[in-house]
Amino acid sequence: MALTGKAKKILSVVGVVVVLLVLALAIFVASLGGIIKTGIETVGSRVTKCKITVEDVDFSLLRGKLAITNLVVGNPDGFNTASAFELGQVKVSLVPSSVLSNTVIINEVVIDGPKVTYEAGLGNSNMGTIQKNIAAFLPAGGGKEVAKPAEGEKPAGEGKKIIIDHFLFDNAQINLSVKLLQGNALPVPLPKIEANGIGRAKDAGDAEGEGIAAVEAVAIVLNRVVAGVITSATDAIAKLGGAGVDAVKGAVGGAVEGVGSGLKGLLKRGADKTEAPAAQ
């Protein structure tokens, strides 16, 4: 049966619309890496009040895989070490279809072998300062910053929401750094840090209302990591003595007399004002 001229025109228009939609989707998918990179740097910097940079983001929507390369969290003002966190690679797996929905479902976030620096200053530490900055974005801290969106940003609850089913921060080493070490650092192992069900509803059988604002999800994850760093660092400080003091002396070549007691005193003053945050 031959098509009429009108039918042909309709099919032609439909074909053009389909091509335009496919092209628009292809452009959107191709630009997602850049959008994610900008989002991490913007949201992360806002939560921590530290400069955050990302070298590259590789995102495959079809496979639901995201790889973030060289994510660096700088230090708050007043601290001298190069960074607080250096994450060589962050691997993320997510539900591809959720990217186009109101709630992005992330199956897993894995950060393996990150470098962490705990810098003690006079009366505080870099981690303690970051912890206080993060608190403003958490419900336990009043969530004041979440309620007040940044300029040009949608109010919390209006933009896309996030669920993170599993987060793993593993094989990390903390470098304790103070002036007495003369630029050297004392390495301290950090046990793995895990979190599950971030953004999930309390009633697992009720999906309605699941998901939280991206800025709050970032704050919860960072809070868990910073809490672990603070706990491990302060435990190491408390145990300094004997072999610990010898290790510190070795780091500075034994050139500073009384470096062990001096280090303990300085670090303790910073640790005393740094309360480990409640688990989220």
The answer to whether residue 35 is domain-embedded is yes
The segment with the largest mean pLDDT, out of 138-152, 154-168, 198-212, 233-247, is 154-168
| pLDDT (0 to 100) of residue 139 | 77
The model scores a pTM over 0.95: no
Return all residues near 75 (Cβ < 8 A) that are at least 6 apart: 50, 81, 82, 83, 84, 117, 119, 126
> To 10 degrees, the CA torsion angle through 135, 137, 140, 141?
50
Phi and psi torsions of 94, nearest 5°? -145, 170
pLDDT, tens only, 206-236: 455 589 998 999 999 999 999 999 998 888 7
Residue 202 per-residue DSSP state: S
**What whole-number distance in Å separates Cα of residue 153 and Cα of residue 162?**
16
Instruction: Give residue 173's domain range.
Output: 30-272
Number of domains the chain contains: 1
pLDDT, tens only, 79-134: 888 899 999 999 999 999 898 889 999 999 999 999 999 988 767 889 999 999 99
| pLDDT (0 to 100) of residue 101 | 87
The answer to whether residue 3 is domain-embedded is no
Q: Per DSSP, which regions of the chain are E strands?
A: 52-60, 65-73, 85-94, 103-112, 115-119, 161-170, 172-177, 186-190, 193-198, 212-213
The answer to whether residue 10 is domain-embedded is no
Looking at the chain, how many residues does it have? Answer: 280
CA-based nearest residue to 240, from 127, 131, 120, 115 = 120
| pLDDT (0 to 100) of residue 13 | 61
H or E segment to which residue 183 belongs: none
The answer to whether residue 82 is domain-embedded is yes
**What whole-number distance in Å separates Cα of residue 171 and Cα of residue 189?**
8
The answer to whether residue 14 is domain-embedded is no
| pLDDT (0 to 100) of residue 187 | 85
Phi and psi torsions of 245, nearest 5°? -65, -40
247 versus 131: the higher-pLDDT residue is: 131
- 71 forms bridges with which residues in the sheet? 54, 87
